[in-house]
Amino acid sequence: MNETDGEWQDIIDECNLSMVAGIILFGTEMSPADYETVRKIQKPLVIYDYEMPERQYMAIRMRKV
């Protein structure tokens, strides 16, 4: 997650709009430092290609062939 804090707050605010039903987050390059930011999203969330240790979000992992 390379955006500045202000840019992330704009993204989080947009994710939490009433018209948003859920989020698919591409987590390919996520790290533990990103967890706090992700937890600010108050909508159903699926993380693609990353699984957070607590498994509090649905995750879809890519299998490397």
In which residue are the tokens 């989020």 written? 23
Tell me if the pTM is above 0.85. Answer: no
Q: What is the C-alpha separation between 26 and 60, in angstroms, rounded?
A: 10
Q: What is the C-alpha separation between 28 and 33, in angstroms, rounded?
A: 14
Delimit the domains of the chain by residue range: 5-60
pLDDT in tens, the chain (65 residues): 556 667 888 999 999 999 999 999 998 888 888 889 899 999 999 999 888 887 778 888 877 65
CB-based burial of residue 51 (10 Å sphere; 0-12 exposed, 13-18 middle, 19+ buried)? middle
Q: What is the pLDDT of residue 1?
A: 52
Q: What is the C-alpha separation between 43 and 46, in angstroms, rounded?
A: 10
